[in-house]
Structure 1
Amino acid sequence: MTDLTDLGVADIRNGVRAGTFSAREVATAFNANVAEAKALNAFLIDTPEHALAAADAIDAKRAAGEELPIMAGVPIGMKDLFCTVGVEARAASEILNGFKPTYESTVSQKLWDAGCGMLGKLNMDQFAMGSSNETSAFGNVISPWRRNDGGNAPLAPGGSSGGSSAAISARLCPAATGTDTGGSIRQPAAFTGISGIKPTYGRCSRWGVIAFASSLDQAGPMARDVRDCAIMLEAMSGFDPKDSTSLDLPVPNWEAGLSSNLKGKRVGIPKEYRMDGMNAEIAAIWDKGAEWLRDAGAEIVEVSLPHTRYALPAYYIIAPAEASSNLARYDGVRYGQRNLPDGAGLQDMYAATRAAGFGPEVKRRIMIGTYVLSAGFYDAYYTQAQKVRALIARDFAQVWEHCDVLLAPTAPSAAFGLGENSDDPIAMYLNDVFAVPASLAGLPAMSVPGGLDSQGLPLGLQIIGKPLDEQGVLNAGLAIEERAGFTARPGKWW
């Protein structure tokens, strides 16, 4: 029999339904992989008992002849940004050490209702602020991939959902939750050779997800292939009255709608994304992706998104501004860490708690955000950035008159070494250059693996779609997946 940990979401679900193997056998196999992979530091907390209990419940349902839910028997990893009853949710930050939610996030509850079990809480960049998983208070996640040059330099798994991407790629879980504020599902998926989709803003509830930038944050699935992402997205999505930004719309059956036949579809290639000094291997895989989509029946057209160049600076004003507001609640009074020096007053406690609890990158973004929201600079920075955001959204709205989806690279390079960019925040922020525009416009966007670079590392291709057209994005992703034939996986060294 195939090693159960080599199976993805669809194969596990189908195998459990058919009785080929039990859900408990699946959970046991993945629990063992998680326990053996401490060198990757992908999981912050292991919850093997949660996975087994959920598996036993599914096995009991099957034995009783009951209908099984959409993800029956699939154990998953849960990004540490999602609140889970009785299991710490720390956003990989010291300031939330010891915080055990008394409530369940809407997304995680939907996944438990869909038949999933939790293998554990996954490491991430602290408060989702980072592109390499180097800002976690609990140590770096190390990518399971290595360059083929014979060196053993540890590589970044991408961020902020780096624990999710590393765990899926290393076969520690078949799928995991991610969140995407400016590329935090798509970029780590590209770095580790997996798939991940950020749905339209509002598709997945933000209730119970620790906030970074509320107008941008969106949960989504990360998995080995497009079909698995479609299944998981269906389980995660749906209206939630507890989230004022939640879309009150029916959830499509994305898995049933999957088709790689793109006849009659037009794929736009945004000329502004082809930047000066672009990595030649990224440019080559982009061109190859266009050929694959043409082979699937699509017409390829060049389009223009003229305000693209302003997306990154606008994002790095809006996101820190919202973060400075959201993170003001961490003051040592109600939950999490408290630092109270002898004889200190209230303001001293606030300062000491935040100084000890927040990491350097979180402090940097809070200070940027507080600055751009201050009375003297609000109009010059924040108001202007919001105007730019509106122009970027307008660019996308106009481009849909000429095409159905857009094709672009996911990231400007393959995975880089841990420490290579950590001393240069600007270089790190540039990792989001291709991902941020879709986030600012609230559009669905997906990364699928396209191939390997000359060092044997994965390269991702990004599909961006119209609002609410996750089906179009998934179908284009499937067309690329079928033609790329990507089967590479990291050799086990951990």
Structure 2
Amino acid sequence: MTALTHLTMAEALDGLAKKDFTAVELTEAHVRAVEAVRPFNIFITETPDAALSMAKASDERRAKGEAGPMDGLPIAVKDLFCTKGVSTTAGSHILDGFKPEYESTVTSQLWRDGAVMLGKVNLDEFAMGSATITAHQGETVSPWSPGAPGAWEKKIVAGGSSGGSAAVIAARAALGATGTDTGGSIRQPAGYTGTVGIKPTYGRCSRWGIVAYASSLDQAGPMTRTVEDAAIMLRSMCGFDPKDSTSVDMPVPDFRAALTGDIRGLRVGIPKEYRVEGLSPEIAALWDQGIAWLKEAGAEPVEVSLPHTKYALAAYYIIAPAEASSNLARYDGVRYGLRVEGGNLKEMYENTRGAGFGKEVQRRILIGTYVLSAGYYDAYYNKARQVRTRIKWDFDEAFKSCDVILTPTAPSTPFAIGEKMDDPVQMYLNDVFTVPINLAGLPAMSVPAGLGADGLPLGLQLIGRPFDEETLLRVGHVVEKAANFTALPPFVA
């Protein structure tokens, strides 16, 4: 039998139903795996006792014939989701000691459907980053790094900001994980680690109980080993929430049923503007291979134009920091988390925020406060909002001639920790293919599609119409089957 930690969610559900193993046995195997990946600094908080308690309850439900759609599946939670009674840090020193008295809507729905929590995983501080290197708790190392754990030949990034979520799946220490995506933070780390990540349409998953970065862009989504697993997990995560004013009240489809394998007659848009200067030749070749795979499956490639793509990154790095500046004003040392005393209230605020926020978070707060200030609001923030509207219109126009859009996930393979870190602009360019989708509020997913010459994973990105995750998953499933990505990280292999 396949090792319990190497099962997909679908296989694990099948094995649990057949009584090949119990939820407790499945969870125990993953708890041991969590202990084994400690050198990679994936987990901020491990919850083995809670996991085994949840697994035992799952076995009891299954014995009564009351198993839920995710019953007994051990997953990890990005440490941006509030979990009742369990430390929630957002990767920041300023939230030291914060244990929420409430559960985020997304995680509460996962527990409702029987999922088991292994713990909280690492991320870039407040989800601001592309490599999971800015957390107060330290950097996460990708299981794709060559060499033995702790004695790597070089340390490879897991992507970000959901790098812990991507790494834990690639390392076979969880069957899935929650992620959040503000400008590519699910899809880019999925592409970098040979895993699947889907950012649903804005409003599909509740944002309530998720520590906010940029409220008009943030969206939760699943990160898994396969497209089928993403469909399983997404169904539990979605749903209307009256506590979130941006949550959309519409039925949640059976996403798994959409994986028919039949994409004959579908039109696949290929945006000419995504062949950007500096695009790696091997990524361009992989993109062409993806087009060929879909054509062989009966889809029709069509060229589309997204002319405002070149302005997306600049607009994003005005809008997102502006919203972050407002959202992070609440962390002042008064109500919860870190407090650094001062001679008066103003000094206490300054001392707390200066000590509590890392350099990247401080940089984005400063940028955001600047673009919202008097005299600059119209020149920067309003202009960026207008560009955002144009980007949305570009996608609306493109989808008149296609059903789904295919692009690379990232412009390069994952890089080594230490590279690019001194140049924020180079770091921001990692998200050049993912940011436009957040600005437009569309669903998108990354599917592992091959290995680069350096032996590191490459992903292809699919972009769908609003609330058409079913088509996205159906096409992604076809890409996954054609790519037949079976490579394992050195740590697992």
TM-score relative to the length of structure 2: 0.98
Instruction: Determine whether 1:22 maps to 2:22.
Output: yes
Counterparts of 1:222-301 in structure 2, within 5 Å, are 222-301=223-302
- 1:33 maps to what in 2? 33
The residue type paired with residue 121 of structure 1 is: K
- Runs (4 or more) in structure 1 with deviation over 3 Å come to none
Q: Tell me the alpha carbon deviations over residues 237-283 of structure 1, each in whole angstroms, 9 at most, x when there is no partner.
A: 00000000001001000001212211110000000000122110110
- 1:154 maps to what in 2? 155
Gap change, CA 1:152 and 1:208, over 3 Å in 2: same
- 1:453 maps to what in 2? 452
Following superposition, the deviation at residue 146 of structure 1 comes to: 2.7
| Distance (whole Å) between structure 1 residues aligned to residue 300 and residue 474 of structure 2 | 15
| Distance (whole Å) between structure 1 residues aligned to residue 250 and residue 7 of structure 2 | 32
Following superposition, the deviation at residue 151 of structure 1 comes to: 7.4
The residue type paired with residue 138 of structure 1 is: Q
- 1:98 maps to what in 2? 97
- 1:172 maps to what in 2? 173
Counterparts of 1:6-405 in structure 2, within 5 Å, are 6-64=6-64, 66-146=65-145, 152-341=153-342, 344-405=343-404
Matched position secondary structure for 1:102: coil
Matched position secondary structure for 1:131: coil
| Contact 1:17–1:68 (8 Å) recurs in 2 | no
| Distance (whole Å) between structure 1 residues aligned to residue 294 and residue 260 of structure 2 | 12
| Distance (whole Å) between structure 2 residues aligned to residue 86 and residue 490 of structure 1 | 34
Q: Tell me the alpha carbon deviations over residues 386-434 of structure 1, each in whole angstroms, 9 at most, x when there is no partner.
A: 0000000000001111000000000011110001011000000000000
Following superposition, the deviation at residue 12 of structure 1 comes to: 1.1
Matched position secondary structure for 1:255: helix
| Distance (whole Å) between structure 2 residues aligned to residue 203 and residue 489 of structure 1 | 32
| Distance (whole Å) between structure 1 residues aligned to residue 126 and residue 145 of structure 2 | 27
Following superposition, the deviation at residue 147 of structure 1 comes to: 5.2
| Contact 1:465–1:472 (8 Å) recurs in 2 | yes
The residue type paired with residue 211 of structure 2 is: I
Matched position secondary structure for 2:334: coil
The residue type paired with residue 137 of structure 1 is: H
| Distance (whole Å) between structure 2 residues aligned to residue 315 and residue 492 of structure 1 | 36
- 2:422 maps to what in 1? 423
Superposition RMSD on alpha carbons, in Å? 1.2
| Distance (whole Å) between structure 1 residues aligned to residue 261 and residue 365 of structure 2 | 44
Which range moves more in the overlay, 365-374 or 292-301? 292-301
The residue type paired with residue 4 of structure 1 is: L
| Contact 1:45–1:120 (8 Å) recurs in 2 | yes
| Contact 2:171–2:492 (8 Å) recurs in 1 | no
| Distance (whole Å) between structure 1 residues aligned to residue 16 and residue 278 of structure 2 | 50
| Distance (whole Å) between structure 1 residues aligned to residue 296 and residue 477 of structure 2 | 13
| Distance (whole Å) between structure 2 residues aligned to residue 238 and residue 61 of structure 1 | 23
Which range moves more in the overlay, 207-216 or 7-16? 7-16
Following superposition, the deviation at residue 17 of structure 1 comes to: 1.6
Gap change, CA 1:252 and 1:493, over 3 Å in 2: closer
- 1:410 maps to what in 2? 409
| Contact 1:147–1:457 (8 Å) recurs in 2 | no
| Distance (whole Å) between structure 2 residues aligned to residue 62 and residue 119 of structure 1 | 20
The residue type paired with residue 334 of structure 1 is: R
| Contact 1:372–1:381 (8 Å) recurs in 2 | yes
Q: Tell me the alpha carbon deviations over residues 208-227 of structure 1, each in whole angstroms, 9 at most, x when there is no partner.
A: 00000000000000000100
| Distance (whole Å) between structure 2 residues aligned to residue 79 and residue 276 of structure 1 | 33
| Contact 2:40–2:143 (8 Å) recurs in 1 | yes
| Distance (whole Å) between structure 2 residues aligned to residue 242 and residue 209 of structure 1 | 12
- 2:439 maps to what in 1? 440
| Distance (whole Å) between structure 2 residues aligned to residue 169 and residue 54 of structure 1 | 23
- 1:482 maps to what in 2? 481
The residue type paired with residue 422 of structure 1 is: M
| Contact 2:283–2:408 (8 Å) recurs in 1 | yes
| Distance (whole Å) between structure 1 residues aligned to residue 380 and residue 123 of structure 2 | 29
Unmatched runs of 5 consecutive residues or more in structure 2: none
The residue type paired with residue 31 of structure 1 is: V
Matched position secondary structure for 2:256: coil
Following superposition, the deviation at residue 493 of structure 1 comes to: 7.7
Q: Structure 1 vs Structure 2: percent identity of aligned residues? A: 59
| Contact 2:258–2:471 (8 Å) recurs in 1 | no
The residue type paired with residue 399 of structure 1 is: A
Matched position secondary structure for 1:256: helix
Which range moves more in the overlay, 428-437 or 274-283? 274-283
| Contact 1:44–1:121 (8 Å) recurs in 2 | yes
Q: Tell me the alpha carbon deviations over residues 172-193 of structure 1, each in whole angstroms, 9 at most, x when there is no partner.
A: 1010000000000000000000
Gap change, CA 1:43 and 1:151, over 3 Å in 2: closer
| Contact 2:77–2:121 (8 Å) recurs in 1 | yes
| Distance (whole Å) between structure 1 residues aligned to residue 111 and residue 456 of structure 2 | 34
Matched position secondary structure for 2:258: coil
| Distance (whole Å) between structure 2 residues aligned to residue 492 and residue 403 of structure 1 | 40
Following superposition, the deviation at residue 51 of structure 1 comes to: 1.2
| Distance (whole Å) between structure 1 residues aligned to residue 10 and residue 182 of structure 2 | 27
The residue type paired with residue 17 of structure 1 is: A
Following superposition, the deviation at residue 462 of structure 1 comes to: 0.0
| Distance (whole Å) between structure 2 residues aligned to residue 117 and residue 268 of structure 1 | 39
| Distance (whole Å) between structure 2 residues aligned to residue 99 and residue 451 of structure 1 | 41
| Contact 1:75–1:118 (8 Å) recurs in 2 | yes
| Distance (whole Å) between structure 2 residues aligned to residue 67 and residue 56 of structure 1 | 14
Following superposition, the deviation at residue 157 of structure 1 comes to: 0.1
TM-score relative to the length of structure 1: 0.98
Instruction: Determine whether 1:3 maps to 2:3.
Output: yes
| Distance (whole Å) between structure 2 residues aligned to residue 376 and residue 259 of structure 1 | 54
